[in-house]
Structure 1
Amino acid sequence: MRPKTLVRMTAIAALSTATFQSAPALADAGSLLDPQTRALQMLQYEEDRTKTILELQPFRTTQTARGADDTSFELVTLNPGINSWFLLTVSSEGFWSTTRKFHLELADPEHSTLTLVAGAEPELVIAGEATEFRCTPWSGSSPELDDAQYRGLPFAPICDERIFLRNRVKGNSTNREAVADFLRDNVVFGESLVNMIKGSFYEDAFMNSGPVIEGADAGETVKALGKAQLDNAPVFRTSFNFDLDGAEGGRVEAGSWYAISDIPGVYASAMQPGMISRDILNRPGETNGLDGVERGADVYLIAYDLEQFELGYELGTDHPRVDWSPRPSGAGRNYRIPGPDGIDDSDPLVRSGMLSPAKTERVVGTFASGFKRSHGAWRLTDKAYTNYGHHYGFISEGVIFSKLQPDLATILVLDDGTIDMRTWTEADNKLLPRIRYARQNGVAVIEPDPATGIGVPGSQIRSWMGGNWSGDADAKLRTLRGGACMKTAGGRQFLMYGYFSTATPSGMARTFQAYGCDYAMLLDMNSQEHTYAAVYTHENGDVVPHHLVRGMAAIDSKRRDGTPIPRFVGFPDNRDFIYLLRK
């Protein structure tokens, strides 16, 4: 593929985990605790009170040790079933007593384990099936933990690069993002001001309508995904920022799929909602009608063949937060606790806002994954006054940052790599020990029909408040939006990301219906920063980003020589994201 943008991998990003060998299978998280401890930690998790983020981890296990000099050590495995994140506490006694906490991440959690071994000089032990490595990163005249902490890298390798110390850094944000944060945090009625700005500047600001090209050759289509159900499938020019096999000059046949050049297993498609089959558009009672602007607005999609990829989720350095959204009030808010889950920050855990260096070599795609906490709860309807406003939940590396709420659209990954998208239920809480990643955003755009199993528009598509669809202060729903869906085709599971240059929830639903999606959800909206998506090639040791639309390239950072550094991969960002890794 001809590079359109370029990033050089740093030495740390090129870290290899090939030296690790397979470790014994991990036991279920709950089974590692004695019944009394398990009951106590579940009570801490469920209690409606101010608490620490550690008390939100009901499956955690703790090891302790004390050295000959009375220095005490504690290693908390935050979710043993996932085996990725750990909290190390080192406390010294005496006149200069100190307590320091370090958030550690195993570089290869699938093939190694981390334990704390007691003795006169306690040690960390990283063990694989046939290997064992011991280290004491807190000891010596220049402790390795000190060096790693003061280097300021988001991920600083220690213990022969088998562990990363996650360091707190400031995430990138655009001027618009920084202004919005300032208004919300420092100005009375800041949320209303931000809504006013959105109403004035965002509606249709990114709307695109590609010109139809009469009589052009659509090129070779991708057969496995089929075609969207359209009445009209002309060839038109797109703004994709990557090359497509069989599509010259960015010209594609509407609704057809094309392989993205040099990225096996990833496909792209484009259309306009006005082209959708009347059999779908005219179904009564499912959605609101689409106006002329929305009918002619471009929609761009990327599809990932999940037989070839793993999915992950990483929190931004700042967003989503864990305190209260300003939306719930009355019975939807408990003013005695700092947030809906009893916490208002993630300390001492560190949110990196970027991909772990151990995963950089396999990254294939990323996209922005959802709303900030300020918009991630209900203002009205029953959901605003129950479960503390139904704040959207999220889990990363098996660590619960915000509880998953019933009736919300959820994308999740289990410990065995299973990827699913569903409406969360109370019964699904039994899956919590096994969840590696989860992100909630509102309610379903598309959900299976109970009778047929075929994807149909969600029950709240036509309700602005019921769906918490957001928009501007005048409830105008048409704006730039991003969403995702799951589809099964030819016995294969696909994850699609959709970029809607200007759309309502109804337009999103009809589009995902036309593409045969089984389940779909809204992610974020209003700017290309919030709907950012990119795919990557790896060329001569470099990670090369190719954006879903050209305007997204401006969001990446740049070096002094002008070459871009890709968002989420090359530098920390303040927003959370979903990523795809090649298996």
Structure 2
Amino acid sequence: MRPKTLVRTTAIAALSTVTFQSAPALADAGSLLDPQTRALQMQQYEEDRTKTILELQPFRTTQTAQGADGTSYELVTLNPGANSWFLLTVSSEGFWSSTRKFHLELADPERSNLTLVAGAEPELVIAGEATEFRCAPWSGRGPELDDAQYRGLPFAPICDERLFLRNRVKGNSTNREAVADFLRDNVVFGESLVNMIKGSFYEDAFMNSGPVIEGADAGETVKALGKAQLDNAPVFRTSFNFDLDGAEGGRVEAGSWYAISDIPGVYASAMQPGMISRDILNRSGETNGLDGVERGADVYLVAYDLEQFELGYELGTDHPRVDWSPRPSGAGRNYRIPGPDGIDDSAPLVRSGMLSPAKTERVVGTFASGFKRSHGAWRLTDKAYTNYGHHYGFISEGVVFSKLQPDLATIFVLDDGSIDMRTWTEADNALLPRIRYARQNGVAVIEPDPATGVGVPGSQIRSWMGGNWSGDADAKLRTLRGGACMKTAGGRQFLLYGYFSTATPSAMARTFQAYGCDYAMLLDMNSQEHTYAAVYTHENGDVVPHHLVRGMAAIDSKRRDGTPIPRFVGFPDNRDFIYLLRK
């Protein structure tokens, strides 16, 4: 249960009256605002104009105070329903006047809340169910906030480690990624050049094709998930970088599920699309046919039993951006505003590119979550010229960085922890006060059949531009891809992440269809950096990564003694990611 903070906000920058109640769950984020303020902030959110990142937060509440020395303080709770992120502004007047802004994060938003109390010497109050801690990290000869900024940690603890100051840091990227960013940002026709490089050098570069092992013992399968619908289920050798219960030497039966050793609730499976049942592959009018290469290309999947895990989403230090994608043009672009949502920067909010230290003890898995802004919009079809190109939306800790667009595939988490994946609709915008995390990527790979409710290939699977599937400069769709799906099995909900060593959207759809997915979406593509996925064990206080495929280990950093520092967990990254925490 989240402790409840009651804030009576009389105006956007007005003094608020705060009282505490222990234990009851937080109400709808918008219900904490008076009707006038809520209407005003929703108008700011919806207006088609240049604005600030704060004006994109329709449910924010604001508390102010002024000290005896004239220093003013403002604490904005960015989304009270998430109760996680806050923006503190400290402004002094006089000859040495200054205004400083600090992005704060509660270390334990489930059991505490943060408020600003007025007085001659204003303070922050972190209150739990039976405790109250006060601090003024801006005061004293060596202010704690100054020290926290000077240390430069992505998450610098303050106020007896009850809060983190989120500091702006540079996210890690590989040389190839850095070069691609440089070309896109600084070289005329840079995007075309990057696509040429991808088409010339990286097509099928990460394809695997494991040798089939006849007559080998498949090991113990995981009955709750069942088996994929295959005509041919041989045993073959995989490149999983973790051990599976009942699988000797990395040999698995195609389409079967295996428990990952020492990580309860997480399972793995592998297959090749050419093994899929003819009853699926021969269904006409649903997908394009599979070519000989992708029919034999390995697919690796990991499944999370969502009864045991929470899901979250964190932005990278740089990606996805919030400005315009270069793809929309004409009616799909408004040149009077800096981005589709009226912003081109997230400042003063800080994007960390890594998991909060308060969550590392519970982390079980991460995977790269989606396209950069440059690829996250439509170039052609109706979507390119409506809703400003349908830029993919994303929300973290209840904070809107880019609005969710209708008709796009969306994975999201509500304030009660429930997880869903579906095509977003205008009617779903009513859920905005309850959304804690959301990420959009293109359109559905698998979606429920309206008549039967069974998952079938999405309506745009065969349309390169209609699905915004991307590929190389010659529109060849077969490449390394990552995707995710939701599956219901044995009355339980599972989240599956799929790594396709080389595949078209059609091969992805047939694979997820064979595994009985209810809904599936594309995430990212073209390199193991963009399709990175890892699960974790916890050993002697360290978080130890075990990658979906061995090649991903090269993306992690290392300590001087050679032990790994896991991406997304041990250091900031320039890309965004989805993470799973044990409940």
The normalised TM-score by structure 2 is: 0.96
Instruction: Determine if contact 2:14/2:63 at 8 Å carries over to the other structure.
Output: no
Distance, in Å, in 2 between the alignment partners of 1:412 and 1:333 is 27
Q: Secondary structure of the equivalent of 2:430?
A: helix
Instruction: Determine if contact 1:20/1:112 at 8 Å carries over to the other structure.
Output: no
Cα distance, 1:287 vs structure 2 = 0.2
Cα distance, 1:24 vs structure 2 = 3.7
Structure 2 CA distance for partners of 1:31 and 1:383, relative to 1, 3 Å: same
Instruction: Determine if contact 2:481/2:502 at 8 Å carries over to the other structure.
Output: yes
Instruction: Determine if contact 1:30/1:59 at 8 Å carries over to the other structure.
Output: yes
Q: Secondary structure of the equivalent of 1:366?
A: strand
Cα distance, 1:20 vs structure 2 = 15
Q: Which has the larger displacement, 57-66 or 32-41?
A: 32-41
Task: Give the aligned partner of residue 130 of structure 2.
Answer: 130
Q: Which has the larger displacement, 1-10 or 42-51?
A: 1-10
Q: Secondary structure of the equivalent of 1:233?
A: coil
Cα distance, 1:38 vs structure 2 = 0.7
Instruction: Determine if contact 1:317/1:573 at 8 Å carries over to the other structure.
Output: yes
Equivalent residues, number: 583
Matched, 1:445 2:435: no
Q: Per-residue CA shift, 1:368-388, capped at 9, x if unaligned?
A: 000000000000000000000
Instruction: Determine if contact 2:8/2:34 at 8 Å carries over to the other structure.
Output: no
Cα distance, 1:449 vs structure 2 = 0.5
Instruction: Determine if contact 2:394/2:401 at 8 Å carries over to the other structure.
Output: yes
Instruction: Determine if contact 1:7/1:564 at 8 Å carries over to the other structure.
Output: no
Cα distance, 1:30 vs structure 2 = 1.0
Cα distance, 1:15 vs structure 2 = 33
Q: Secondary structure of the equivalent of 2:510?
A: helix
Q: Per-residue CA shift, 1:335-367, capped at 9, x if unaligned?
A: 110000000010000000000000000000000
Instruction: Determine if contact 1:481/1:524 at 8 Å carries over to the other structure.
Output: yes
Instruction: Determine if contact 1:366/1:568 at 8 Å carries over to the other structure.
Output: yes
Instruction: Determine if contact 1:24/1:128 at 8 Å carries over to the other structure.
Output: no
Matched, 1:208 2:195: no
Distance, in Å, in 2 between the alignment partners of 1:45 and 1:290 is 45
Q: Secondary structure of the equivalent of 1:200?
A: helix
Q: Per-residue CA shift, 1:208-232, capped at 9, x if unaligned?
A: 0000001110011110000000000
Instruction: Determine if contact 1:57/1:79 at 8 Å carries over to the other structure.
Output: yes
Structure 2 CA distance for partners of 1:7 and 1:387, relative to 1, 3 Å: closer
Instruction: Determine if contact 2:12/2:37 at 8 Å carries over to the other structure.
Output: no
Structure 2 CA distance for partners of 1:178 and 1:18, relative to 1, 3 Å: farther
Distance, in Å, in 1 between the alignment partners of 2:128 and 2:113 is 7
Q: Per-residue CA shift, 1:514-569, capped at 9, x if unaligned?
A: 00000000000000000000000011111110000000000001122222210000
Distance, in Å, in 1 between the alignment partners of 2:264 and 2:20 is 27
Instruction: Determine if contact 2:16/2:62 at 8 Å carries over to the other structure.
Output: no
Cα distance, 1:26 vs structure 2 = 1.7
Give every structure 1 segment of 4 or more consecutive aligned residues whose post-TM-superposition deviation is greater than 2 Å: 1-25
Instruction: Determine if contact 1:21/1:131 at 8 Å carries over to the other structure.
Output: no
The normalised TM-score by structure 1 is: 0.96
Structure 2 CA distance for partners of 1:380 and 1:395, relative to 1, 3 Å: same
Instruction: Determine if contact 2:3/2:110 at 8 Å carries over to the other structure.
Output: no
Distance, in Å, in 1 between the alignment partners of 2:280 and 2:176 is 38
Instruction: Give the alignment's Cα RMSD to 1 decimal.
Output: 6.6
Instruction: Determine if contact 1:15/1:357 at 8 Å carries over to the other structure.
Output: no
Structure 2 CA distance for partners of 1:266 and 1:19, relative to 1, 3 Å: farther
Instruction: Determine if contact 1:7/1:542 at 8 Å carries over to the other structure.
Output: no
What 5-or-longer segments of structure 2 have no aligned partner?
A: none
Structure 2 CA distance for partners of 1:69 and 1:566, relative to 1, 3 Å: same
Matched-pair identity in %: 96
Structure 2 CA distance for partners of 1:254 and 1:434, relative to 1, 3 Å: same
Q: Which has the larger displacement, 542-551 or 4-13?
A: 4-13
Instruction: Determine if contact 1:21/1:128 at 8 Å carries over to the other structure.
Output: no
Instruction: Determine if contact 2:9/2:37 at 8 Å carries over to the other structure.
Output: no
Distance, in Å, in 2 between the alignment partners of 1:22 and 1:505 is 50
Instruction: Determine if contact 2:483/2:521 at 8 Å carries over to the other structure.
Output: yes
Q: Per-residue CA shift, 1:174-218, capped at 9, x if unaligned?
A: 001000100010001111111111111111000000000011100
Instruction: Determine if contact 1:322/1:345 at 8 Å carries over to the other structure.
Output: yes
Q: Per-residue CA shift, 1:146-167, capped at 9, x if unaligned?
A: 0111101000011111000000
Cα distance, 1:25 vs structure 2 = 2.2
Structure 2 CA distance for partners of 1:9 and 1:276, relative to 1, 3 Å: farther
Listed as ranges, the matches of 1:24-423 within 5 Å are: 24-423=24-423
Q: Per-residue CA shift, 1:407-437, capped at 9, x if unaligned?
A: 0000000000000001000000010011000
Instruction: Determine if contact 2:482/2:500 at 8 Å carries over to the other structure.
Output: yes
Distance, in Å, in 2 between the alignment partners of 1:18 and 1:222 is 51
Q: Per-residue CA shift, 1:123-158, capped at 9, x if unaligned?
A: 101111111111000000000000111101000011
Q: Secondary structure of the equivalent of 2:62?
A: strand
Q: Per-residue CA shift, 1:12-67, capped at 9, x if unaligned?
A: 99999999997442221111111111111111000110000000000000000000
Q: Secondary structure of the equivalent of 1:461?
A: coil
Structure 2 CA distance for partners of 1:527 and 1:571, relative to 1, 3 Å: same
Q: Per-residue CA shift, 1:256-310, capped at 9, x if unaligned?
A: 0000000000000000000000000000000000000000000000000000000
What 5-or-longer segments of structure 1 have no aligned partner?
A: none
Structure 2 CA distance for partners of 1:421 and 1:3, relative to 1, 3 Å: closer
Q: Which has the larger displacement, 5-14 or 181-190?
A: 5-14
Instruction: Determine if contact 2:7/2:18 at 8 Å carries over to the other structure.
Output: no
Distance, in Å, in 2 between the alignment partners of 1:479 and 1:412 is 27
Task: Give the aligned partner of residue 537 of structure 1.
Answer: 537
